[in-house]
Amino acid sequence: MAGNTAQATQQPVKHFNLVRCVAVCLLTLIVLVGLAVLITWLVIRPKRLVYTLENGSLQHFNLNNNHINATFDFVLMAYNPNTKTSVYYDSMESVVSYKDQTLAFDTIDPFHQPHRDTARVESKLVAQNLALSPSTFKDLRGEKSSGEIEVDVHYKSRVRFKVGMWKSKHRTLKIVCPSVKLHFSWSRHFENVPCEVEL
């Protein structure tokens, strides 16, 4: 009887030791992973990519019977301030919209941006006989009479980051350049627009 009692008390002790060992191992693993991430961050010191719309122009603008024809030209300056990280833009598209209605879009050729580099990204977006809602047509016609229109320019890209020999998986980069003023008069200078980044 005494032998059975001793055996019964040993089994919970062994189970407790196993649980404690697993817990210690998991905690050690979490600490090591955290240290690795911290050290990597301290070495790389990642900085946010900076985008500025530095030029925008409008040609062949015509409104007729709730339809629009126009050509939009934009120059986006992309700055990579990182000293150890380069960026691969594997696909990129740009869209110009007016009050949530898409007017035109364009695709941009893939490119690679080294660290501490500024890239010039040009896009030409053509609206060809695009149907507009009556309210959008009315608002655009009113803005045209004022000498300028205000649009939003969006960029969407599939990017990868490279540090040394390591490359990240694809991520979606969204760039929004809001309230871009395009003038009908060539004498008026385009004002640079800082863009918002979502990654």
Residue 78 tokens read as 């992309």
**pLDDT tens digit at each of 199 positions of the chain:** 545 554 545 555 566 677 788 778 888 788 766 555 444 444 444 789 999 999 999 999 999 999 999 999 999 999 999 998 999 999 999 999 999 899 999 999 999 999 999 999 999 999 999 999 999 999 999 999 999 999 999 999 999 999 888 899 999 999 999 999 999 987 788 999 999 999 8
Quick one: pLDDT at residue 31?
A: 74
Residue found by looking up tokens 């007017």 in the block: 103
> pLDDT tens for residues 73-102?
999 999 999 998 999 999 999 999 999 899
Quick one: pLDDT at residue 18?
A: 75
Instruction: Give the global pTM.
Output: 0.78
Query: For the sheet containing 117-131, what is the strand order?
Result: 117-131, 67-80, 50-64, 193-194
Phi, psi (rounded to 5 degrees) for 134 = -55, -40
Which one, of 158, 167, 15, lies nearest residue 86 by Cα? 167
